[in-house]
Structure 1
C-alpha cells in the first residue's frame, strides 16, 4: 500500500531546499546594496550549493542507504536551521552562515527522491512518485523567483526571509510526521562500514548506472548554463533583463509541468530512450536557432520548450536508477546528482568564458546534447537487460 503523505512531505522539503538556495537570485543587486557587499558576494550565496553538492553527494548517498529516515530528517532540519540562521541579524555573515548550513542539507534531501518512493510507494506508483518529487524540486525554484518578485525591495528582504523560514518549518514538520512509519520496504541495517561503501562499488560497477550518470551531465549542464547566462547572452538581440527573467521563469514552470507528467508517460510506454533522444535533439535545434536568429519571441519559445523537454530527463533517469537498484538507491541517486551538478558547473564555466560571444556560447550549448545522443539511443538495449 502506498503512503502518499510521505511523498507530500518530501516534496515540500525538496521545494524548500531550492527556495533557500535561490532566494536572492531575483534580487541580487538590491541585496548587495542592502548588505554593503558586491553582487559577486551575493552570487556566492547560491554558488556554495552546487560546489558543496559535488563534494557531499556520495557521502550523503551512503548515509541515506545506511540510515534513511534519520538522514533525510537531518536534511530537512538543517534546511530549516539554515533558513532560521539567516534571520539572526542584519549582516551578510548571517546570510552566508545560513546558506552554508542549508547547502550541507541539500544532498541529503535531493538524493532521497528514489529512496522515499521505494520505501513508501508500491512498485506501480514509484514512477509517479519520482516524477512528482522531482517536479516539486523545480517548483521550489519557481517559488523563489515569485517571492523575489513579491518582495523586490531592500525593505522587504527580511519579510522574504521570514516567509521562507516559515515554509521550511512547516515542510519539516509535515515530513517528520509522515516518516513516523518506516515504510513497507526498509532495507536491513548493516553495521559494518565496509558494507556501506560496498553500495558505492556496486552502483558504479553497473554499466547502466554509469551510462545514466554520463547522460545526466548534459541536460543539467545546458539548463544550468542557460539559467545563469541567458540574460547577458540575449541582451545583444534586444532582450531586456525583465523579459529575460520572465523567459527563465516560464522555462522552469514548463519544466515543472513536464517533470510531473512526461516521466509517468515514458515509464508506462517504455519510451525512456526515444524520449531522451527527442529531447536532446530538440534542445540542439533550439540552441542553433538562438545562435543564428536570436530574438525576444524566439527566445521565449525555444527556452520554454527546452525547459518542457529537458528537465523531465532528470526524473526519467532517477526512475531508471530506482528500478535498477535495491538497497543502494541513495548512493546511485547521489551519483546521478553528482554528475548533473558537475555538468552544470562545467557548462556554466565554459559558457561564462563565452558570455561576450553569444553565437559561440549557443553553439557550445547546441553541441552538448549531441554528445549525449548516442548514449541515449543505445540506452534501450541496456534497459532490455534484467534490472533486479
Structure 2
C-alpha cells in the first residue's frame, strides 16, 4: 500500500469504542433525571437535591475544562484512560451504600472523568481520522453523547418507581465499566502516521493558542446560552411538565425521543452544513426555534406540545454542538483539545447558571420556560459577531 494511503487511513474502531464511553458518561449524567420524584422519595431528599446529581456534571466541567484540555493536548491516550477509570469508579462508588451521600460522591467522581472524555473529540479526530473524515467523526462522536442520554432516559422510563432506583444505578455502572474496557483496548491502536495522536502545541502554550483565538472566544459566547438551555431542560423538564399533566414516565419518554431526534440531527445536519458552508445560518435557526419552543411550553403546556417542541429542539439544537466543535478544530488546529475544553466549559457554565435559575422556579413552570426562552435569544448577537469575524477574514 502506498505510504500516502497509509497516512490517510482512518482508524474508526477507536471512534466506535470512544462513542461507547462517551455514551456511558452521559447516561450517568442523566441517570436520575427521568425519575426525579421517585429518586427523591427513595433517598429521602428534595427534588432540588436530586437535580444536583445531574448539575454536578456541568459544575465540575466548568472547573476542569481548561486544565484537562491542556493535559489532553499533550497526553491524549493516557488522559482518555484516566477518564475511563474515573467514570467507572464513580459509577460503582454509588453502590457502596444505597443512600444519597454515596450517590452524590459517585456522581462527583464520574463528573471529574467527563472532561477527559468529552474534550478529546477533536484530538481524536486529528489523531485517528483522515482530514476528509473529521467533520463526520466529530458529528458521530457528538451523536454518541446524546445517544447516552437516550439510554439514560429510556432506562428511567422503563424502570420507574422507587424500587428500581438501585437497579438503574447498577445497570449504568456496568455500562460504564464495559465501555471503559472497550476504549482502553481500542487505544492500543496507534494514531495515524505523522500525527502522534497529540497536538504539536502543549501545556500552557495550548491554552494561549486557544484562548487567544478570536474565533474560539466568539464560539464560546455562541454556545454558552443554548447549550445551557438544553442542560436546564434535561435536568428539570420532568417536574416542569408535571403540572400540565405529563406523567413521569411520559416525560422520560419524551426526553428520550428528544435525544433520538438529536442523534439523527447530528448525523445529518453538521455534515450538510459544513459542505454548504452554512454553519452560522443553521445555528441561527436552532437558536430561534429553541426560544420559540420554550415560549410555547410556557404559554400552552401539554403532552402534545411537549412532544412537538422538544423533539424539534433536539433535531435542530443538538447538532449545533458538533458544528461548533468542528469550527473550533478548524480555527485552532494547534490546540484542538483545549479549544474543545473552552467550548464545553462555556456550555456547561451556561448550564449551571440556567439550571440554577430554573431550579428556583421549578414550581412555577411558566416562569421557568419564559426565562429559558428569553435567555436563548441572547445567543443571536454573539452569533452575528462570529459571522462578521468570518466575513472579515474572508475578504483579507
Corresponding residue for residue 326 of structure 1: 333
> Counterpart in 1 of 2:5?
none
Counterparts of 2:244 and 2:296, CA distance in 1: 13
Instruction: Please give the TM-score of this superposition, normalised by the length of structure 1.
Output: 0.90
- Is residue 2:217 matched to residue 1:210? yes
Match of 1:186 among 180, 189, 196: 196
**Comparing 366-375 with 50-59, which one deviates more in the overlay?**
366-375
What does 1:162-173 correspond to in 2, within 5 Å?
162-173=170-181
Deviation at 1:98, TM superposition (A): 2.0
Task: Name the residue aligned to 1:362.
Answer: 369
Unaligned runs of 5+ in 1: none
Q: After TM superposition, give the deviation of residue 141 of structure 1 in Å.
A: 0.9
Note if contact 1:190-1:196 (Cα within 8 Å) is conserved in structure 2.
Answer: no
Q: How many residues were matched structurally?
A: 383
User: What's the TM-score once normalised by structure 2's chain length?
Assistant: 0.88
SS in 2 for 1:327: helix
User: Deviations 1:299-322 (Å, cap 9, x if unpaired)?
Assistant: 221121111111111111001111
Q: Which moved more, 1:338-347 or 1:296-305?
A: 296-305
Shift of 1:378: 4.7
Tell me what 1:7 maps to.
15
Contact 2:156 2:249 in 1 (8 A): no
Change in 2 beyond 3 A, CA 1:239/1:156: closer
CA contact (8 A) 1:65 1:328 kept: yes
Structure 1 residues 93 and 364, CA gap change in structure 2 (3 angstroms):
closer
d(CA) in 1 for partners of 2:253, 2:134: 33
Alignment CA distance shift 1:188-1:94 (3 Å): closer
Match of 1:298 among 305, 309, 313: 305
What does residue 307 of structure 1 align with? Answer: 314
Using the TM superposition, give the Cα deviation of residue 35 of structure 1 relative to its aligned residue in structure 2, in angstroms. Answer: 4.1
- Secondary structure, aligned partner of 1:328: helix
Question: Distance between the aligned counterparts of 1:69 and 1:180, measured in 2?
Answer: 9
Report the aligned-residue RMSD: 2.4
Q: Identify the residue that residue 86 of structure 1 maps to in structure 2.
A: 94
- Return closer, same or farther for 1:301/1:106 CA change in 2, 3 Å cut-off: same
Distance 1:17 1:160 in 2: 14
1:141-156 aligned within 5 A: 141-156=149-164
**Is the CA contact 1:57–1:107 (under 8 Å) kept in the aligned structure 2?**
yes
Unmatched segments (≥5 aa) in structure 2: 1-8
2: CA distance, partners of 1:150 / 1:359: 28
Between 1:209-218 and 1:220-229, the stretch displaced more is 220-229
C-alpha contact 2:58 2:352 (8 A) present in aligned 1:
yes
Mapped contact 2:33–2:238 kept (Cα < 8 A): no
